[in-house]
Structure 1
Amino acid sequence: MEFDEPKCVAAGQCAMVAPDVFDQRDEDGVAIVLDAEPGPDRHDAAREAAAVCPAAAIRLVEA
């Protein structure tokens, strides 16, 4: 997974749909990647987070 932090608009959608993969910084709300290589049990949530990101700051790279 790739996360383009400068593109993040701090909407929080990723942290809401994939809280085990993303969180947000307290000071500005910008997303934080908690798990850059989520396991199979988190793939669906990571895909959904990428899909709902309004800034398209999350890109999934699958082997």
Structure 2
Amino acid sequence: MSYQLLLDTGKCQGYANCLIEAPQIWDFDEENDIATLKDCQPGEDLRSVAEASVRCCPARAISMLEG
């Protein structure tokens, strides 16, 4: 089953917890102090770290859509 990650840049506070959890998926825009997605549809092999990045965001700026 496929999934997609969504980032609400308006909510992102620049903690970079997502980058720490899943550097394969996330990057950081230091100029704007927000996270950026390298790939909004990472493969199943990265699902566990993608889910961890959603859970670890204190600003609740990341969500995951199934399907």
- TM-score relative to the length of structure 1: 0.94
1:60 alignment partner, one of 57, 60, 64: 64
The runs of 4+ residues in structure 1 deviating greater than 3 Å are: none
In terms of fraction of residues, the more helix-rich structure is 1
Gapped regions of structure 2 (runs ≥ 5): none
- In structure 2, the partner of 1:8 is 12
In terms of fraction of residues, the more strand-rich structure is 2
Specify which structure has the bigger relative contact order, considering alpha-carbon pairs within 8 angstroms and separated by 6 or more residues.
2
Gapped regions of structure 1 (runs ≥ 5): none
Over aligned residue pairs, what C-alpha RMSD do you find?
0.8
- TM-score relative to the length of structure 2: 0.88
SS in 1 for 2:23: coil
Alignment size in residue pairs: 63
